[in-house]
Structure formats: structure tokens, C-alpha cells
Structure 1
Amino acid sequence: MTERLRQLLGDEAGVLDVPPPSTDAVLRQGRGLRRRNRLVAGAAGVAAAVVVGGSVVALAGDGGGKAAPDPSSPTISDNAVFSYGNQVFYDGPSHRAEIQDNAVKSLFYTSAGVVVRHGDSSASDGGGPQRFSLVSPDGTVERLGLETEETVHASDVDQQYIAYAEAVDGELQAVVYDVAADVEEARVTVGATAETWFPVSIDDETLYVQDGYDNPAYAVDWRSGEVSESDIPSVWNVAAGRVTATVDGESAVVDVATGDVLVSSGSGSLVLSPDGRYAALAAGEEAQVEPDREVPTQVFDLESGSDVTVFGTPYDWGWTADGDLFQVEKSQVRTCDTATGECTTEPYAQPDIPEPDPITYTMSDPVCPDGGLECHTDPEFYENCAENPDQCEWRESEYVEEQTIELRLGGRTYES
């Protein structure tokens, strides 16, 4: 009787259609249970075009290219991630990869690995095209097909995407790029624009973008294509439904959904960790007076309400992917646990790499009609020449810019 019952139950279980668990849900629950145990989010590709509220969203799969990451494989390191020149330390100072380019501009945490933005120079803005490479957890470096110009980028530590926005034929378009599959995942038309520079952030399925400095911010559901104006206080530094902002003249961290102030400070500037669990008081009045002396940095746990204090040089902190602070010093990397305030060190040997060659730039400037200099203070003259270049006389000039080897820290993508 028992064997018969077991057989019947086994046959029935074999034909049940059990849906797979949501990877995103598993990831987010896991973050709350164990800070240092994440899974790579894998997703099957789809191809579709959806029109929602006058906006177009294009969703693209991997086109038979690369497979999504194995959900059981390790994610990015919880150790310090930084670069010196074109050398990227992707898992503390003992793991190093080389980027085949002149310089690194910034580093982004994603669930597929560390995305490196690099180019002809280390300048965050300008300096030619912005190119991208993915450093996988095993140290493999893969050049991505993504290339942008004069664009701000953002990432979500729990997703395999880089987000940015650009103007195309007078329209503001928000873009989500899958760095694991190396394809554009979604492109949503937000609306008409006359701007050329767009701050962005990505938090789960919402991409926040501001149409220039003084225009409204938008919340873009990049999967459905739904676009709405947002009253988010800032599109910078958004993570896990939280955002840094200025409230009543003080730096604060605000809950995006409710508007509740989670923590505020009378001086200094609060900065969110990449996973949105912590906020560090980046600098106060003491740091302004003596910027090269070690001063206290207060770190707030936004979930428990507790806080700890760590000491270090202000403005030189980076974040690990799971929310610890670190500093790269002359011969060591110091990492401070933001839950306890305890700090540990690892030896570090700065790479011996040659100084980069100077870069020669060619610039074109409109010539004043009378041969003088008065037009150089007239914004309308420059605007007209930009819109109607054939109506102006242009003069080309060259200048040489010396390059230096720069240190870039993970978790500080606001440098982009």
C-alpha cells in the first residue's frame, strides 16, 4: 500500500507545472538575511515593441549571443574595487585585470561583474568616446559594444544593466543596456528635449532621468515603457528606494515612495552605499578646514537606525558592493565594516605603469564678424553658430593636455 501511494504521488508531482521562483525576489530577500551572499540575477531574453502612453519601449533579448549568468555563480566581490591607471583591482588588492585603453573614468557595480567606463583620458567628462568593459568575477575582461559620448551613466548593484539617457532627433530617450548579454535591453522615448545632458539613476525596474538641470525629472518603467513626471527630490544617488536630498537646508536620505526622511545631518553631505542600506556623512566642517587630516565619518544603518563612526581622510572613501567603506592608501587598502565600525587592512603595491602620453585636441571657435572679441560674451551668437554653422566663420586651434595616472574608487559613480 505504501509503495503504491508513493508511486501515485511521484507520478502526480512529475506532471505539475511549477513556476520557477523570481530571481529578483530571492536576491532581495537574501540581501536582508546575509550581506555577503548574493546570487547573480539571470533572465531569459525577449523581443518586443510596446507603445504605452505615447512612448515606445523596445525590449531586446540576447539574440542568441551570450547566455545569461548562471544564477549559482558568484557575483561581484564584496572586497574593495578600484583602479589605478588602466589597472583594475576587482576583488581587493590581490586580484588585478588590465583594461586595453588609455585610462579608466569610473567603475560600476552590477550583478554580472564590475563595469569599467574608460577612454582616451581619465577625465570624467569630455576626452572623446566613452568605452566600456565588463570584468567578470573570475577576472575575465570583455570589451562591450556600448560606446557613448558626454553621457551620465548609472547601475543597480542587483541587476546586470547600465542605464543612461541621450537626445536623439530632439527626443529624450532612456536606455538600459544588458552588460551580460552585451545588448541594448530597452529604449524608452521620454519626450521632446532641447537639452544635451541628462542625470540618471536606475533602481529595480524604474529609471529616473532629469531633462537637463532645470527641467522636470521623470520616472520611467523601462520594462513597460510607462513614463510619468516624478517629484523625486534628486535623480542622483538612488538605491533600494532611497535617495539623498536636501531637506530644510540639511543633507538627508529620503524614502522615495513615502517622502519620509530616514536620516538627516546639519553639516556635511550624506552619500548612499551602492546597495542602499547605509549612508555615510561624507564631510563636515572639520574636513573643510583640514582636508588632509583623518577625521570621523559617521555611517548610518538605514534599516536598523544605528550608526558607527570610522576615521579616515575625507573625500577618499569608496564603497564595496555590499556597503562597506574602504580607502586605498600608499601601501595598503583599509576596509571598514559599516555594521561594526571595525577596520582591517590588506597590503597593496601600486602598479608601476608608464605615464600616459599627452593628448592633442583640435577645437573650432566661431570668429566675431568684426574681428574683435565682443561676440565671445554673447550667448546668442554662440547659440546661432551652433544651430547654423554655415552662417559663421570658424577658426581651428590645437591645445595639448598632459595626462596623469588617476585612482578611481568603486561605489563613486557620481564621478561620471
Structure 2
Amino acid sequence: MTDRLSTLMHRAAEGLDVPPPSTGVILTRGRALRRRRRLASAGAAAAVLVLVAGGAAVLDPDQPSEPTPSRGVDEPPRTLDLGATLAVGSTLVFRDGTEQAELGDRGVTSLHYTSVGVLVRHGDRSSAEPGGTFSLVHPDATVSPVDISTGAAAPVTDPAEPYVAYVQRRGGATQVVIHDLGTGAEVARADVPSSEDLRPVALSGDVVYLNAGDDDYVVDWRAGTVSEPGIVHGRPDVAGGRLAAVVEGRGVVLDARNGEQLFSVAVARGGRVDLSPDGRFVALDEDDGVNGFEVYDVDSGSRVQFPGVISQYGWSPDGDIFRVRGNRMTVCVSASGVCDVPDVRLPPGRIRLGGWSYEQ
């Protein structure tokens, strides 16, 4: 943890009805000191954002298209009502098993929620290998191809936005590319420091989080900035503008932009926390399923107990959970704990649960 993050957490904790976490470190002090250096002083490439809207200069010859307008600050996320969503073999199953879309290949590598459908990477094998084909499964179960190439790195999406972000190396430069799945057009491209292990970690609103070993970058593609803010590190759990982490025996949820603490709960040694795709809920798993796990509402602090471990469950785009056993699924409302077993039978095949990344 950087000194800034520790200070922000303590300030935020003063206004909460939970014990504040003590001052500590997420990272070693040496790494924390490295985090303070500015992008320019490190000799990194200057940020070059390519946009048509917002007054930014168009510097790319490919002329990216107009981006979809961003949400207002007070506007709720536009997540799709897809219910339990998973891939079984080459079939995407959603709306609690009542809708299916066939991808035509022998397996699905990964699936990513967006506001216009589910982005699916599929190919000859359902394993986390480079390559494969991308398709967008629309809410009406129709499928359309997506013309992007992300290489070995996984793309990132936000269930409340129509975008996919990925890293591309072109002409000696490393760039973050923003592709609008709603229009099928590239809308932004930003130069970032070149590194062979640079990976996109998360997309939340207009912000892309990147990691390259000990270095972390944040790209605000609408504002045209690339920075190292010292809040998000490594490969964090970021969703809905929030960051979940375990810090010195407490599971915390922070505002990913400014480090403000939004939620805190005691966590046993070895425990983990996982955010829902929309950032509204956080799951706490402490004892490998012996006593189940808890799902907390980040805003209200209310909690519900579920059996098993969170990794056995998928997340729907709007924060509910589901579990598959054999050819049946159990769908649960995170806010209430009410569960249902839909009267559907799943097709045979390898399963990929929505809400989890199966790529590096």
C-alpha cells in the first residue's frame, strides 16, 4: 500500500461504523517509492490519446469514430438483464438457461459482459491460449463477429459500457485500443509505455487499468491522460469504479479513482474478497467452503450466507450469483439470498462461468 492509499483509507474509515484498518502496506516500501515517480521522469512514452469528440486532436490516420456518450455521474449503470450466463462447450447459455446461442467452434475461451451483449472469445480449444475468434452475442441470442485482435492478452470490458479495451503493438509503439461494440468501430487509441508483459487488468467506465510487472498505469481515454496514481496495483479486482482487496486482516472496497474507503470487514488469514461485475456486491470467502461464504452489499453493509466457495459460482452482470451442478443450475439473488432452480437442462460440455476471467 502506498502512503497515499493508507491515508485515504484512514480518513474514509473515520466516517464508517466499522473499525478502521491500521496503517500498513499492500506492497513493499521499495515498490511504494517507485510508485511515486512520474511517467515522464521514468522515460515512459508520452500519452497520445486519439479521439474525435471532446476536443482532443485526431492524430491517428485510421480516424477513430465518435465514441458513445458517457454516463452521467448520477446515472445508474446500464447493465443488461441477462441472468445466469455461462458457456457450455461452444454454446452460450443465458437468462437462467432459457436462451442459447451457438458459437460454432469446439470451445469457448472466455466471456465478457458489456452493455450491448456478451463478448465471447472462442476457437478450436476451450483453453486460455492466444488467438481465437471474437463474437458478440446480442440480448436476442443473435451472434455477430467482432473484428479485433488482442494477441495473448485478455481483453477487458465493463458490463455497463459498450466498449472492449485491449493492448496492441503497432509500428514499435504499444497502445491501448478502445473498440465500441455497439457501432463496431474503434473510438480511441492511447500510447502507453512499451513492455512485453503489459496487460489490461480492468475497464471501469472511461478508465483502463494496466499492469506490467512492478509498473501500473491508468488510462482515462476520454480525458486523454495516462498516469500512475498509486491506488491500484498488480492485477486487482476492479468493477463499477471500485477496488476490492484484503489489507492487514480486513477486506476493503475502495473508490478506484481516489482511494476513498467504501466498505470494510474483518477477514481471517487466507481469506479472499471478490467484487461482482457491477461493483455493488463483494463476496467474502474465508475457510474454503467449510462454512460457506458471505455476499455483502457494499453500500448498505447487509450480508447473506451461501454454501460452498465463491469460485464455484458465477456472477450475472447485475451482481447475482449462480451455481452449476451436473446439467442443472441454481440461481440466487445476492441481496436476499433467495435461490431458485430453473426447469432447464444444460447441454454437455466444458463450462465457463460468467463473471470470471479464464485468461491471463
* TM bucket normalised to smaller: 0.7 to 0.9
Report if the CA contact (8 A) 1:50-1:56 is conserved. no
Alignment gaps of 5+ in structure 2: 1-50, 68-77
Separation (CA, whole Å) in 2 of partners of 1:414 and 1:336: 23
Aligned length: 297
Q: Aligned residues: percent identity? A: 34
Residue type of the alignment partner of 2:312 = D
Matched residue type, 2:223: S
Match of 2:132 in 1: 130
- Larger helix proportion, structure 1 or 2? 1
1:412 corresponds to 2:341: no
2:105 pairs with 1:161: no
Alignment of 1:15-414 (within 5 A): 46=52, 50=56, 60-61=64-65, 76-124=80-128, 126=129, 128-191=130-193, 193-210=194-211, 212-215=212-215, 217-234=216-233, 235-248=235-248, 250-256=250-256, 257-260=258-261, 262-264=263-265, 265-266=267-268, 267-281=270-284, 283-287=285-289, 295-352=291-348, 405-413=349-357
Q: Deviations over 1:22-75 (max 9, x none)?
A: xxxxxxxxxxxxxxxxxxxxxxx95799469xx989872279xxxxxxxxxx96
Q: For 1:199 and 1:249, locate their aligned partners in 2 and report how far apart those are by CA, in whole Å.
A: 28
One-letter amino acid of the structure 1 residue matched with residue 152 of structure 2: E
2:163–2:181 contact (8 Å) kept in structure 1 = yes
Residues 197 and 123 (structure 1 numbering): CA distance in 2 closer, same or farther, change over 3 Å? Answer: farther
Larger Rg: 1
Kindly provide the CA deviation profile for residues 185-235 of structure 1, in whole angstroms up to 9, marking residues without a partner as x: 2110023x232341321111111112x2222x1121112321111212335
> Which residue is equivalent to 1:373?
none
SS of the equivalent of 2:125 reads coil
Check conservation: 1:134, 1:144, Cα contact below 8 A.
Answer: yes
Q: Which runs of 5+ in 1 are unaligned?
A: 1-44, 64-73, 353-404
Structure with more relative contact order (C-alpha pairs < 8 Å, separation 6 or more): 2
TM-score using structure 1 length: 0.65
* TM-score, scaled relative to structure 2: 0.74
CA distance in 1, matches of 2:286, 2:132: 33
Native 8 Å contact 2:283 2:310 kept in 1: no
**Matched residue of 1:328: which SS?**
strand
**Residues 338-371 of structure 1: CA distance to partner in whole angstroms, max 9, x if unpaired?**
111111111332325xxxxxxxxxxxxxxxxxxx
Instruction: State the distance in 1 between where 2:144 and 2:172 align.
Output: 33
1:115 positional shift = 1.0
Separation in 2, partners of 1:329, 1:347: 13
How far 1:250 moved relative to its partner? Answer: 4.6
- Could you say what secondary structure the match of 1:315 adopts? helix
CA distance in structure 1 between the aligned counterparts of 2:209 and 2:247, rounded to whole angstroms: 20
Any idea what SS the aligned residue of 1:285 has?
Answer: coil
Residues 288-325 of structure 1: CA distance to partner in whole angstroms, max 9, x if unpaired?
Answer: xx6xxxx4110010011111111235521100111011
CA RMSD for the aligned pairs? 2.9
Change (3 A) 1:138 1:120: same
